[in-house]
Amino acid sequence: MAKEQLMRAILIAPGQEPAIIRLPAGHGKHEEAIRDVLEGNYGAVEFFEIQPGISLFILVNDLAAVLGMKPNRRFPAPDEKEIIYGKAIFIAAYNGADESKEGTLDMSEETCLMFMEQIKLHFAPCKGDEEPGPEDTLYYEEDEQGQRKPYRWVECLAVPENLPEPLQAGRVKFYRTETREIMEINHRYFKKIPVYTPDSSLN
């Protein structure tokens, strides 16, 4: 049996020093391993370009604040008010400059160690008592007119009854009816609540 190919990335967890982790390189297993580490679905933020066409990305659980994950580290100035909640993975990937190339890339141990030192210098650890602001739990969707509609996921006090068949999206299940939308993740249920702003449409 062929030995599984692994690739290096950097993990930062709340209250811990950055560490090198090894993720499966194979398609499918790679994404699932990232979801395992981050405990759910994830989003990516391009941090900086390492070289033309290749950047260092930060992967985080895209529902970390909603799930109440612990504060981890602050972004470098001038974005120090922005906090990473839960675990984060720093990983090298093609940035789309060359449309013929896509996917993540292995980093040498020396490269990882260099980036780990930069993370320790520029991403200040949180104290542990920080809490998400209102904007950290706000999400947006577009209506039929292309206008952005804000909403929040609010945890249900009890397991909702009479749910339809779910739509699976990674580690999340969505239950939709004409009158409500419920999200299930890690055996917790959240209901979708519209947020009305001065720019919101009345209907």
- Rounded to whole angstroms, how far apart are CA atoms 7 and 4? 10
User: What's the whole-model pTM score?
Assistant: 0.88
Tokens standing for residue 120: 């320790």
Q: How much is the pLDDT for 127? A: 94
How many distinct helices (H) and strands (E) make up the chain?
2, 14
Instruction: Parse the chain into domains and list their residue ranges.
Output: 6-122, 138-194
What is the pLDDT tens value at each position of the chain, 203 positions in all?
A: 456 789 999 999 999 999 999 999 877 799 999 999 999 999 999 998 999 999 999 999 999 999 999 999 999 989 989 999 999 999 999 988 888 888 899 999 999 999 999 999 999 999 999 999 888 899 998 877 878 899 999 999 999 998 999 999 989 999 998 889 999 998 999 999 999 866 655 44
DSSP class of residue 86? S
d(CA 41, CA 48): 22
